[in-house]
Each structure stands twice: as C-alpha cells, then as structure tokens.
Amino acid sequence: MLASGLASGREMPPAAVEGILVNEGGKRFDPQVVVAACGVLEHLEAQRGAQRPAERSLRTAGLAPGMVLARDLTDGAGRLLLSVDFVLTDGVIRQLRDYEAAERCVLAIAVRP
C-alpha cells in the first residue's frame, strides 16, 4: 500500500482505502480512476459480505439517525473522527456534512443498521 507516497507493509481494509481515494480524488488521484477503483473495492467487499452481511459503506447523504458505525471513521490523514459502534444522531450527521464541506472531501462511512 502507498501511504504519503511511500510503500507501507500494512494491509488496510477496503473501506479505509476507499476513504483515502475519495478524499484525495481530484487532488492526488484522477476522479475517473477513483470511481473505477471504488467500484472494484465495492465488488471485493460484496465478495467478503458473507463475513459481515449487514455492513455497508455510505456517503453522508445516505446516513440516518440510529445507524451504528461498523468501523472507526477516520479522515484522509488517519485521524480518528468517530469510533466503531458509535450511534449516529441528526446532530452528528449534520456535523459530518459540515466537515465534508469545510474540508472539501467526501467521507465513506461503514455502517450497520
């Protein structure tokens, strides 16, 4: 994996990779390549779905109060924004949308109902 332009030996879950791609789309990565790569990642996640059938990756527009984070939510630099098992509220969803607007990024958020 590449991290900050350097190869890293650690494996990242597909949702984390997707988050980095989406956050860096149009900056470091061509947007069309990001869309294609996210499609591949979604396909890989679908294949692994038997292990985590209820987990799905959503953008903030698809979030609803009561949804639970299936994974830690981090920003493009790996800083923790919200922890796994956090229950989303209207206020937090609004803050996430405000964060996206302020940071000019798109978050990929792994949730379970």
Tens of pLDDT along 18-42? 888 888 888 888 888 888 888 887 7
Q: What is the pLDDT of residue 11?
A: 66
| 83, burial (CB in 10 Å: exposed 0-12, middle 13-18, buried 19+) | exposed
Taking the C-alpha atoms of residue 71 and residue 102, their distance in angstroms, rounded to an integer, is 23
Query: Which domain range does residue 24 map to?
Result: 2-112
CB atoms within 10 A of CB 64: 11
Q: How many domains does the chain have?
A: 1
Q: pTM for the full model?
A: 0.54
